[in-house]
Amino acid sequence: MSTLRFTGKALAALAFLAASAVIAAACSGGGGDGGDSAAITEVTPVIVNSELAVGENRFMVGLLSSENEEIVGATVAFRFFKLDGDQQELREEAQATPITLEKSYTHTHEDGTVETHEAGESGVYVATVRFDEPGQWRVEVTATVGVVTHDPADAGFDVLEESASVAMGAPAPLSETLTLDDVEDVAEIDTSNPPIPEMHTMTIAEAVTSGRPSVIVFATPAFCLSRICGPTKDIVDALFKQYKGEVNFVHVEPYELDRARSGEGLFAVPATTEWGLTSEPWVFLVDSEGNIAAKFEAVVVMGELTEALTPLLDDGDTDSGSGIGY
């Protein structure tokens, strides 16, 4: 088994997403608007995606102030340029949607008690963008914080010919993940607080070949480097409560929990590698034919998931005798 190797882009994203936990501990007070907008003299964009590829992408940017504090709740616009040496060409423009959440992580005490701890507020700005060719690109970010519109700020990034993670429209990998049949206690394969055992009754392979739509979530509330696995898993849990009679749900801890709990390190489980993941968390929606219909890295909200899941419901067999019967 190998450790989960993060790319430079993934490490930059994780550094941004982990930042507010430190900020929250160092600062006393502060509003949800990222502070006094008049005091923010500079806005620095940080691209949160661990990868971007030709085709449609859910593009995410975080914003930092000159004091290195996260800026949430701003109004943000993107302009995308394809670079060719010293030349650049404007290819697309988009208005971003702000997303905010409270980060958290779980901790298991020696007596087995599991506690959830808050880790500060975080936020990103999201837009759906289509890149038509690989290579070097640049995004120009214009942010309005409060009543102040700041000068545009740039961030460069690479667009790949193909994504490392399983691509949209591709067959979902038939991963043989652990289920309740393989363990004595669900806590052996789930660090959620509380876990939902029904998300561990099927392997990924069983779920995506069942003829029913599936939601596959890779998240580790206890060992998440970005501190957003817990909130992401909570959102998927809420989705489960709404669609548990119609959709398969599989939760996968991306790391070997016994080795993580012993302090040995974070070692990827086979499914993490098979799905090409270099960051966490991820949520994948799989249609009734077993193909990837949508995928969400890092921060995601309920509305995004329900919007992407709804078209899949008519395709799958929603009879209680197929897939998982709850």
- The answer, yes or no, to whether residue 117 has pLDDT greater than 80, is no
Q: Hey, what's the torsion of the CAs at 157, 159, 162, 164, to 10 degrees?
A: 0
Give the pLDDT of residue 106.
59
Instruction: Assign 281 a pLDDT band (cuts: 50, 70, 90).
Output: very high
Q: Residue 277: pLDDT band by 50, 70, 90 thresholds? A: very high
Residue 92: burial class (beta carbons within 10 Å; 0-12, 13-18, 19+): middle
pLDDT at 228 over 70: yes
DSSP-assigned letters across all residues of 257-295: HHHHHTTS--BB-HHHHHTT-SSS-EEEEE-TTSBEEEE
Relative orientation angle of helices 229-243 and 302-313, to the nearest 10 degrees: 40
Cα(231)–Cα(198) distance, integer angstroms? 19
pLDDT at 33 over 80: no
Considering only the top CATH level, what class is 180-313? alpha beta
Percent with pLDDT over 90 in the chain:
69
pLDDT band at 268 (very low <50, low <70, confident <90, very high): very high
Task: pLDDT band for 74, please (50, 70, 90 cuts).
Answer: very high
Mean pLDDT of 247-270: 95
Tell me the domain boundaries of the chain: 8-159, 180-313
pLDDT exceeds 50 at position 325? no
Q: Would you place residue 29 in the very low, low, confident or very high pLDDT band (cuts 50, 70, 90)?
A: very low
Judged against a pLDDT cut of 70, whether residue 18 lies above it is answered with no
Dig out the tokens for 251 from the structure: 């939760």
* 175-194 tens-digit pLDDT: 999 999 999 999 999 999 89
Instruction: Identify the pLDDT of residue 111.
Output: 55
Mean pLDDT on 96-111: 67
